[in-house]
Amino acid sequence: MKKRIAIIGGGASGMMAAITAASKGAEVTIYEAKERLGKKILATGNGKCNFTNLVQEDSCYRGTDASFSKPVREAFSMEQTLDFFKKIGIEPKIKNGYVYPNSEQAASVADALVMELRAKKVKVITEQVYSVKGSEGSFLVKSENGIAEFDKVILCCGSPAGMKNPKEFTGYQLAERFGHHITPLLPALVQMRCKEKWFKTVSGVRTEGVVTVYENDKLLAKEKGELLFAEYGLSGIPVFQVSRFAGEAVYRGSRVTCKLDLLPNYSLDEVTELLQNRLLSLKNRTAEEMLTGLQNHKLNYIMLKECNIEPVTDSKKAYKPEDLQRLAKLYKGLTCHVTELNPFANAQVCAGGVDTSEIEPETMESRLVKGLYFAGELVDVDGTCGGYNLQWAWSSGYVAGLHAGID
């Protein structure tokens, strides 16, 4: 008799698990709470779906045990991902290593997966699952309109990241009922809220810079790229990349600060020299006018305010020699205090999830309950921005589907 497999969650990892298990001869049913499969995929990569990345480094994957994802990613690599998607019709378009479908439409990725599910005769039930009970060889899945029995279950429920009502997310409860533990859940790849009032003045400014996060005085993470200032604090890709570390430190109750290097192409000495030269050469200007063209004028204004220099005073009178040094230090390391991260609704991903010490990385099977498997973001693995979260969904979905299908 064919193995009956239930997959709870028809997102990226669930669809990959279903296609893989069905291709090994299993009879597969996907339960999806939403009206269509792969809804989150539609929002990825600003609607273009950055589905993997040519650069694969261990540091792109995080989690309480950051090494957990490695054997899973090796079992279904980026190269295998590209092959798989080509086979189902998705030609890649590569930009600086970031991989998108050539159509630049996230919907084509979701649609191609759905077509493949249809070809593999996977049954789709668009109902929410309320409970999964049982153990080895017999699981009862209770959904909105019925109860069905399965030999194996793969939990692929995703995370509350990007959800308007994160409290409605029940995936972790399904895992907890089997005795699994959930590590602290924090929004990641998200904006950081800061204490400083001057953010209101610089809201909307974008600039190249480096953001460095400290927990007390310990350096946690550093990223370069386009910083975006918002009324509440900081946004932009480099901020997203470091946000998970800041979030964990805030969660631990530590003092969390960011230093912003707003002139990353100059050393501190070069900035000091530049300011000295400008003071000499740019005559008849106010303190603020002397900085025009060096950085965004709103940022220049904040620098002066932080140095207690009056912007409208004649520059010759405004600046004492030590002020130029202080100003240079500010451009190279403007400090802001992180109070919290923006909530799950704004986050691209969730840090934390089902404790990986309770999962076999070779198979993605539970170490507590035989026949129960996990995949995707439900698990305590998260990736950096750049296609790594979907790569994790494909790799873990493949491994779970393969072993549920053959073991």
Ligand X SMILES: Cc1cc2nc3c(=O)[nH]c(=O)nc-3n(C[C@H](O)[C@H](O)[C@H](O)COP(=O)(O)OP(=O)(O)OC[C@H]3O[C@@H](n4cnc5c(N)ncnc54)[C@H](O)[C@@H]3O)c2cc1C
Interface with ligand X (CB under 6 A), residue from 3, 5, 7, 14: 14
Element (H, E) at 95: strand 92-95
Residue nearest to ligand X (CB): 11
Beta-bridge mates of residue 218: 215
Cβ at position 170, least distance to ligand X in Å: 5
- Which residue, among 214, 236, 204, 206, has the nearest Cα to 336 in the 3D structure? 214
Cβ at position 53, least distance to ligand X in Å: 8
As a whole number of angstroms, the distance between CA 229 and CA 257 comes to 16
Residue among 39 and 222 whose Cβ is closer to ligand X: 39
Interface with ligand X (CB under 6 A), residue from 82, 122, 154, 161: 161
Query: Virtual CA dihedral for 174, 32, 42, 101, nearest 10 degrees?
Result: 100
Cβ at position 353, least distance to ligand X in Å: 9
> Which region, left, alpha or beta, applies to residue 137 given φ > 0 means left and ψ of -120 to 50 means alpha?
left
The two tokens of residue 234 are 């900081």
**Rg for the chain, CA atoms, rounded:** 25
Q: Which stretch binds ligand X (CB under 6 A): 10-18, 72-80, 295-303, 324-332?
A: 10-18
Cβ at position 280, least distance to ligand X in Å: 49
DSSP state of 181: -
Residues 121-160 that bind ligand X (CB under 6 A): 128-129, 156-158
- Residue 13 interacts with ligand X (CB under 6 A): yes or no: yes
Residue among 28 and 157 whose Cβ is closer to ligand X: 157
Q: Print the binding letters for residues 188-227 with ligand X: x by CB under 6 A, - otherwise.
A: ----------------------------------------
Exposure letters 220-255 (e unless 16+ CB within 10 A, then b)? bbbbebebbbbebbbbbbbbbbbbbbbbbbbbeebe
Cβ at position 57, least distance to ligand X in Å: 15
- Which residue, among 226, 221, 250, has the nearest Cα to 238 in the 3D structure? 226
Q: Print the binding letters for residues 24-43 with ligand X: x by CB under 6 A, - otherwise.
A: -------xxxx----xx--x
Residues 169-188 that bind ligand X (CB under 6 A): 170-171
Interface with ligand X (CB under 6 A), residue from 60, 390, 399, 400: 390
End-to-end Cα, the chain, rounded Å = 14
Beta-bridge mates of residue 258: 213, 336
Element (H, E) at 78: helix 78-87
Residues 339-358 that bind ligand X (CB under 6 A): 348-349
Residue among 13 and 241 whose Cβ is closer to ligand X: 13
Cβ pair 2, 123 in contact under 8 A:
no
Interface with ligand X (CB under 6 A), residue from 261, 389, 401, 402: 389
Residue among 214 and 240 whose Cβ is closer to ligand X: 240
Residue among 318 and 390 whose Cβ is closer to ligand X: 390
Interface with ligand X (CB under 6 A), residue from 9, 101, 247, 352: 9
Cβ pair 226, 385 in contact under 8 A:
no
Cβ at position 52, least distance to ligand X in Å: 7
Question: Cβ neighbours of residue 298 under 8 Å, at least 6 residues apart?
Answer: 201, 202, 205
Cβ at position 20, least distance to ligand X in Å: 13
Residues that bind ligand X in the complex, under the rule CB under 6 A: 8-14, 31-34, 39-40, 43-45, 49-50, 128-129, 156-158, 161-162, 170-171, 348-349, 376-378, 387-390, 393
